[in-house]
Amino acid sequence: MSELSKPKEDLQDPGEAQGLEEEQLLGAEGGEAAPPSASSPPVSSSATEEALPQEALNKMVANMVKFLLRKYQTKEPTSDAELLNAVLRDNQEHYPVVFRQAVECVLLVFGVDVKEVDPRKHIYIMVPTLGLTCDAMQRGGQGLPKAGLLVVVLSVILQNRDRGPEEEIWGALNKMGVYVGREHSIFGEPRELLTQVWVRDGYLEYRQVPDSAPARYEFLWGPRAFAETSKGKFTEAFLLRVKQRALRAFRLLSAEAEGEEEEGA
């Protein structure tokens, strides 16, 4: 069983992106720039992206995501040469599009930023996005990173004027395939994660809306979120990409993980 198989015009309404599901994952339309934290790999690109079946492309992206996550967990760098030889092998002509989409998936779903530290040799390191260290606090940093989901929740709170009604939070996560009471292949049971783990760790506050009858609840940024990152970083560096692409990234990797679970059953 693979590692992934373990158990308004804003982010408030990511349903507006549902019509984009049939497009290339993460907006890989011809000519789109690579993420700002990772340079385009030095492999000549061709018009293979359109000819490559979507299922095959998704599989290659998922395999590269798993490889990058292993490097993140072991705190090891990687390179274009290693990714080409270890992940794609006989499909190296597809490296530019697979690399670009894998970097976006790792960032949006898992909250891991791929940064190039040696432009000449194209060597990369993986670091927590926006300074959030929540993954290091969970089981000694083991298991799949969950900071990407935390970024989405914190973003929804910002989009609701710093107070995220519970129904808005779950509405956004439902459209990404994350449901209360349903074990997620990447994030586990989300209610426990949001209302207990991240509240205990200080990333979120979860409280009853004052004077609400019947009782309603809302999420706010917790003190640790303010200590490790800032609203400005979200607005400037992340919110646009979350709004446009997170829905597709979450659904792709969830589908890949569920498919592998079925194959291993």
- A 10 A CB-CB count for 15 gives 12
155: tokens are 């973003």
Peptide bond into 214 cis (omega under 30): yes
Structure tokens at 205: 């506050």
Domains of the chain in start order, with CATH, are 8-130 (1.10.10.1200), 142-257 (1.10.10.1210)
In this predicted model, what pLDDT tens digit does every residue of 128-145 receive, in sequence order?
888 898 887 665 445 788
Question: What pTM value is reported for the model?
Answer: 0.70
The tens digit of pLDDT for each residue in 119-178 reads: 999 999 999 888 898 887 665 445 788 998 999 899 899 989 999 999 999 998 998 889
Kind and range of the H or E run holding 125: strand 123-128
What pLDDT score was predicted for residue 24? 26
